[in-house]
Structure 1
Amino acid sequence: MGIFSFLKKKDAPPDPAAAAANSRLRGGEPSRLGLEHEAERGRQREIARATAAKIDAIESAMAFDIFNEPEPAWGSQPRRPRTNVQIEANAAGADTWPVLELATTELLADDAMPDAASAPQTAPVIEEIAILFANAQLQLAEQMLVDSLAGVGQSDRNVWWMLFDLYQGSGAQDAFDNVAIDYASRFETSPPSWNPLPHAGLVNTFAGVTPTESFGPLLDAAIAPQLQRLLELAAGSPATRLEFGRVTDVTPEGCARLLAALSLLRGGGRELIVAGAAELAETVRATIAIGQRDASEAPWLLLLELLQLMNREKDFEETAMDYCVTYELSPPSFEAPANVANVANAASARAPSRSDRFMLPALIDGPAARLFDAIDDYAAQYQPLVLDCSRLARIDYNAAAAWLVRLRALAAAGKIIELRDVNHLVAALFRLMGYGEAARLFPHKY
């Protein structure tokens, strides 16, 4: 049985007369239908052949995607050449073939796309909301998203993800928490955690190549050279990126060294981008126990620092109380983090570390020629181009159109372009405008 055999069961029941006719034809029995039905029977046979061939082609394409493309981007796979059967089917007017121009992962990736069956109905709503948001009509975009939850949102999670990103970009935590409860109830899964995007009007507008260091799998004293190198690079840059998605274990010595480095990196008004902080916090938490006073304080203090970086005040206070009980010492006080951006999904942090990421600003609005010129300069030195969108809250529609012209020129020159950690509102706009023709899109995941 093919991996897509279950799709055949979802099709509407065939017409009884057509089914009977097909059965008689297969058995060699002359058809009793009138000559006036010959054209209809021929059309049914063509659709049946097209549908069967489509399923076989999708199964083959699925196998190609699975074994040859370990991390497919949403909406950015190259289009495959049409087969002769496809060309003949399209010439005959069959309407089942155009979807085969897309990679199978674009059609069926559960975590990356809405349900394939519902995509045509939801696309217009998502596109309209994406344009409204790009044009800074935030209240109207919010209202349309909320109204869509009871409709298309029952089958298309994109609507929920876009609303989560809108609330995180505007700092509306109470509204986010209310929707998260409904999301968990509707889909019977854990809701996303609060991880606010930088506020476009408040964060540093730095954009450029950002020093990056990826740690793992063991965080111990051996990370000292990594930290020293990172501190040297960070001294000349207003932003630094740390990736912890590959860390699976920690030692007290490693915790102490990382804690000291974080204190230095947060000083001087620098911006800090942290990927996989939540996963690292859970790894550190697994190594501590309340009441074990002989154990090192370093894991406790690193855990408190990570909770503070993620702005999780409630968890911080509870952990601080446990620390106080264990060591009979006053814990550090909570301070809301400044100039810190968290990448909620650690999957991107598990990718090979790149020290040549180009960090995009929180807002791209109006004329952005200087930014695009800087990206062109970056493209002249690096291949592939990794454009970090983890703190990009919004891009204006006109700016997005102008940037697409630049990206198409770079792609035509042979540059491989990746847009990483894109929020779902921006990703919807990029797909609508055809960014997938020039770049690979990697929206962050919930």
Structure 2
Amino acid sequence: MALPFFGKKPAPGEKAGDSSRPGKSDKSEMTTSLEFTHIGAGGNRVLATIEVLEVSVDDIAAIEEAAVLYANANDSGAKAVLEEAVAGVSKQSDRLWRMLFDLYRLTGDKSAFDSHGVLFAQLFEKSPPTWDDATPVASTAAVTKDAAPAVNLSGNLSGNARTQFEQLVRIGAKVGKLRIDLSRLRGIDDAGCSLLSDTLEGLKKGKVKVALMGAQTALNLLEPKLKVGEPTDRMYWLAALAMMQQLGDQNRFEDMAVNFAITFEESPPSWDPPEAVLSSEPIEELVLEEAPAAAPRDGFVLEGVVAGAQPEILRKLAVYGSDRNAVEIDASKLKRLEFVSAGSLFNQLAQFQTQGKLTMIHHPNEMVAALMRVMGIDQVAQIEHKKF
């Protein structure tokens, strides 16, 4: 998950979001056409033209927040964020309006669509988009607006995942809670230890409620590196102490802390048990509603709701793209892409990129497209927007 970026970065000394809302008066949005050329295996040349919309920095926070809320099935929260963002007398970002109109379509709210269409016409002096009856997204019984995004880590954790973890902190700060499952980890190096410790500290400073699952699995990977009296692998010690705190075993933690002090001749971290909320508050995961694996001649289709850590549809995408230089994905019927699935999609598309493949994602709705940018998918694939 690379860090997103919808548009211009703030000038030196300027902070994103400094302009008040409503009443933003010096905002602009510029449309650029970029051409991407890819030479695949066998010398095949693939050319794609992508429209890029540069969004003023004032609206980035609202775009990202609404995208994450929608991905986690909090439709009303996403609506509130977008409606507040477009309120006022000035011309707000075109992308905010795109997202709001698509959200009304997706949730079947035609009356709000029509009323905001009138406002749009008055504001921009052009016709609003037309209503098309997109099937409302059905929420599964396991999804509630209070559900925490669940992130499952697997494989070997190294420093290469830093950008993904930085984004994790950003998402956690927006939602206020996060579930991280370490039970599938198979290895962790010193850079991975540092990354994990820094991430947990960043979430703690941001007052994000974290449920860390599988701490014992991670501790089992770390303990063989802990050699009392040998002042090496300090990051393994710190990560192990953090896991011990998550397990809530103060006696073992204090024994390990004493050994740390002996080994490194410095004070160990103090005992700071996890908040009680982690053991009492239910953390719910989204249920997979898998789309059919149809892959017509003009591209691989993602449709419906894609949710869960490793949806089968992404395995089928991997098979579909295995013998192609250019991977075409039709996302025009994709209603919702859940947070964890977006991370899995990023990983698959990043693999395509390292293999020299060009991936094109065609016509996702604007709520899904915004999440793709939040999760960095636009860094490993080109996104073609539908016409507004």
What is the TM-score normalised by the length of structure 2? 0.47
Which has the greater radius of gyration? 1
TM-score, normalised relative to structure 1 = 0.42
Structure with the higher strand share, 1 or 2: 2
